[in-house]
């Protein structure tokens, strides 16, 4: 018997801590088994380490099911409370408001939060078995997403049939296998739905560009008809092969990228190959421009001290409410607390504002003031928003009123808000304060808060 086999046999015979825990269901007990210092892992066999990894994944699925259940419950309550007889388009709907709350709480973009809320709602209406399988740790979140995504907009009976057919085996399949299986079943049960989905996707075809963490940019043609995309790829690949045969040392990937680049810049096809060769021998030496940094005044030190004070105060208010068992209506109490701090600061803030002599008479801030605000907040001041401030409105945090000097047009009372988060601010339960120039405090309907500092940069 060789050494490897001996080890396997010994492991199988051994009575390790993790034996019989392969199907241990997730929940508080499994959490206890999984907790403990990292050093305890050193005592486990390799088989047991794999079991621990699998168990931790089951536990993660369980926790994700809890997260989605909480979101679904919040969405359900808000929808129930909404009076929908006269929808007001100046404010967010109950559903949109929940999306923004989730975005702020989980640090997600509005789009990701909307996806998360939608998934939570689907699990609690159309996909009960999928929800149970996630909570039991049998399938993970990517598989849940696959099931939800591919059954979205299907008739209810088809969704139910698909779910029943795929959930059980999903635990042994990869996400890719699961997707293909669902597609086959839908193709059989509702082929016209798949066809419609494809048409809708093609109607949404687009060219996208986004910056990468390496300082490069990706350019992508999205949702073309599959035949068109393959035809383009094949043609460029064939040209790249020809260049390689002629002795070009670049990789196939590099050549495909360089050829596509030339074609998209409008170089006629016959000249592309030549252009690509010339370009390669004379690399362009355009230096990237130095990024400009906004250097703000010292007032930011004060802002960060104030942020700590406000955070401590709001924590205190929350703890107090929790002890009294009065967490409902917390949002209003937090707003009161911030308003209080805001009033305490009014005298010193007004004196600084007068000394700076930067107020503007009239509603619309002049260009120079706009620049100051945009340097201070290069993006919308909602905590998870990345919309550039030069594409936002400058919002008067306290609404503009000329007569009594309230809500004045000056850097003490302006901040960039994109259209969506402008509506968020107007929605009942939400509040936004600017107790110090550039320091913004959001209070959400559920009674949490988010502090946005000056000089918040694009991330």
Q: Which stretch in 40-48, 80-88, 302-310, 409-417 sits in contact with Zn ion by CB under 5 A? A: 409-417
User: Is residue 395 within 8 Å of residue 416, measured between CB atoms?
Assistant: yes
Q: How many CA atoms lie within 13 A of 30 on its CB side?
A: 23
Distance CA 370, CA 389 (A): 10
Distance CA 126, CA 266 (A): 49
Smallest separation (angstroms) from Zn ion to the CB of 21: 46
Helix (H, G, I), strand (E, B) or coil at 136: coil
With binding defined as CB under 5 A, does residue 131 bind Zn ion? no
Phi and psi at residue 102, to the nearest 5°: -65, -40
Phi and psi at residue 211, to the nearest 5°: -85, 145
Instruction: For residue 275, give both structure tokens.
Output: 């252009």
Q: How many CA atoms lie within 13 A of 258 on its CB side?
A: 24
Distance CA 74, CA 82 (A): 12
Smallest separation (angstroms) from Zn ion to the CB of 399: 16
Instruction: For residue 249, give both structure tokens.
Output: 């040392």
Smallest separation (angstroms) from Zn ion to the CB of 112: 14
With binding defined as CB under 5 A, does residue 353 bind Zn ion? yes
With binding defined as CB under 5 A, does residue 162 bind Zn ion? no
Instruction: For residue 272, give both structure tokens.
Output: 């592309």
| Residue 226 CB burial class (10 angstroms; 0-12, 13-18, ≥19) | exposed
With binding defined as CB under 5 A, does residue 412 bind Zn ion? yes
With binding defined as CB under 5 A, does residue 379 bind Zn ion? no
Q: Which stretch in 56-64, 253-261, 265-273, 405-413 sits in contact with Zn ion by CB under 5 A? A: 405-413
Which residue's CB is nearer to Zn ion, number 328 or number 347? 347
Smallest separation (angstroms) from Zn ion to the CB of 350: 8
Distance CA 58, CA 135 (A): 8
Which residue's CB is nearer to Zn ion, number 74 or number 417? 417
Which residue's CB is nearer to Zn ion, number 75 or number 372? 372
With binding defined as CB under 5 A, does residue 418 bind Zn ion? yes
Smallest separation (angstroms) from Zn ion to the CB of 375: 16
With binding defined as CB under 5 A, does residue 380 bind Zn ion? yes
Q: Which stretch in 5-13, 76-84, 157-165, 402-410 sits in contact with Zn ion by CB under 5 A? A: 402-410
Q: Which stretch in 68-76, 157-165, 200-208, 415-423 sits in contact with Zn ion by CB under 5 A? A: 415-423
Within 8 A by CB and 6+ apart from 144, the residues are 119, 123, 130, 133, 134
Phi and psi at residue 379, to the nearest 5°: -130, 165
User: Is residue 68 within 8 Å of residue 125, measured between CB atoms?
Assistant: no
The partner residues of 443 in beta bridges, in order of sequence, read 431, 449
Instruction: For residue 49, give both structure tokens.
Output: 């380490």
Over the window 79 to 118, marking each residue x when it contacts Zn ion by CB under 5 A and - when it does not, the resulting string is ----------------------------------------
Distance CA 447, CA 430 (A): 9
Q: How many residues bind Zn ion (CB under 5 A)?
A: 9
Distance CA 58, CA 400 (A): 53
With binding defined as CB under 5 A, does residue 61 bind Zn ion? no
Residue in 18, 24, 62, 382 binding Zn ion, rule: CB under 5 A: 382
With binding defined as CB under 5 A, does residue 394 bind Zn ion? no
Which residue's CB is nearer to Zn ion, number 133 or number 412? 412
Smallest separation (angstroms) from Zn ion to the CB of 328: 28
Smallest separation (angstroms) from Zn ion to the CB of 207: 24
Which residue's CB is nearer to Zn ion, number 170 or number 410? 410
* Residue with tokens 């304060």, as numbered in its chain: 433
Q: Which stretch in 158-166, 258-266, 302-310, 352-360 sits in contact with Zn ion by CB under 5 A? A: 352-360
Smallest separation (angstroms) from Zn ion to the CB of 414: 9
Distance CA 447, CA 332 (A): 8
Residue in 179, 333, 396, 421 binding Zn ion, rule: CB under 5 A: 421
Our CA angle for 381, 387, 389, nearest 5°, is 65
Which residue's CB is nearer to Zn ion, number 239 or number 412? 412
Smallest separation (angstroms) from Zn ion to the CB of 208: 20
Residue in 61, 103, 123, 410 binding Zn ion, rule: CB under 5 A: 410
Q: Which stretch in 15-23, 288-296, 333-341, 404-412 sits in contact with Zn ion by CB under 5 A? A: 404-412
Helix (H, G, I), strand (E, B) or coil at 1: coil
With binding defined as CB under 5 A, does residue 239 bind Zn ion? no
Q: Which stretch in 147-155, 195-203, 345-353, 368-376 sits in contact with Zn ion by CB under 5 A? A: 345-353
Smallest separation (angstroms) from Zn ion to the CB of 108: 13
Distance CA 431, CA 330 (A): 13
Phi and psi at residue 36, to the nearest 5°: 120, 160
Task: Enumerate binding residues for Zn ion (CB under 5 A).
Answer: 353, 380, 382, 385, 387, 410, 412, 418, 421
């Amino acid at each position: 018997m060789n050494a490897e086999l001996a080890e396997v046999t010994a492991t199988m015979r051994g009575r390790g801590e993790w034996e019989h825990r392969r199907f241990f269901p997730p929940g508080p007990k499994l959490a206890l088994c999984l907790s403990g210092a990292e050093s305890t892992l050193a005592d486990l066999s390799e088989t047991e380490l794999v079991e621990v990894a699998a168990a931790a994944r089951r536990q993660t699925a369980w926790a994700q099911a809890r997260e989605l259940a909480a979101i679904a419950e919040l969405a359900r309550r808000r929808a129930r409370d909404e009076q929908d007889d006269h929808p007001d388009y100046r404010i967010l709907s109950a559903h949109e408001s929940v999306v923004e709350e989730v975005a702020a709480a989980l640090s997600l973009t509005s789009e990701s939060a909307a996806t998360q809320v939608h998934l939570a709602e689907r699990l609690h209406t159309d996909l009960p078995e999928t929800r149970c399988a996630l909570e039991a740790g049998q399938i993970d979140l990517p598989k849940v997403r696959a099931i939800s995504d591919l059954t979205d907009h299907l008739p209810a009976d088809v969704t139910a049939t698909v779910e029943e057919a795929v959930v059980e085996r999903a635990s042994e399949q990869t996400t890719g296998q699961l997707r293909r299986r669902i597609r086959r079943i839908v193709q059989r049960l509702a082929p016209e739905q798949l066809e419609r989905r494809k048409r809708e996707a093609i109607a949404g075809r687009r060219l996208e560009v986004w910056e990468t963490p390496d300082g490069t940019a990706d350019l992508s043609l999205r949702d073309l008809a599959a035949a068109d995309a393959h035809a383009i790829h094949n043609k460029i690949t064939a040209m790249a092969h020809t260049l390689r045969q002629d002795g070009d040392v670049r990789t196939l990937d590099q050549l495909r990228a360089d050829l596509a680049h030339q074609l998209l810049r409008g170089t006629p096809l016959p000249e592309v190959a030549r252009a690509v060769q010339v370009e390669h021998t004379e690399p362009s030496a355009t230096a990237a421009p130095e990024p400009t940094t906004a250097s703000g005044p010292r007032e930011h030190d004060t802002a960060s001290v104030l942020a700590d004070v406000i955070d401590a105060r709001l924590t205190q208010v929350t703890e107090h409410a929790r002890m009294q068992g009065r967490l409902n209506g917390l949002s209003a109490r937090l707003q009161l607390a911030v308003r209080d701090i805001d009033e305490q600061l009014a005298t010193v803030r007004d004196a600084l504002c007068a000394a700076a002599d930067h107020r503007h008479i009239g509603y619309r801030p002049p260009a120079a003031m706009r620049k100051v605000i945009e340097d201070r907040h290069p993006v919308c001041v909602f905590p998870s928003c990345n919309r550039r401030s030069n594409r936002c409105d400058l919002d008067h945090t306290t609404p503009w009123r000329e007569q009594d000097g309230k809500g004045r047009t000056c850097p003490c009372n302006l901040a960039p808000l994109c259209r969506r988060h402008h509506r968020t601010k107007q929605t009942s339960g939400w509040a936004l304060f600017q107790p110090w120039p550039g320091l913004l405090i959001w209070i959400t309907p559920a009674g949490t808060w988010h502090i946005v500092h000056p000089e918040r940069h694009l991330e």
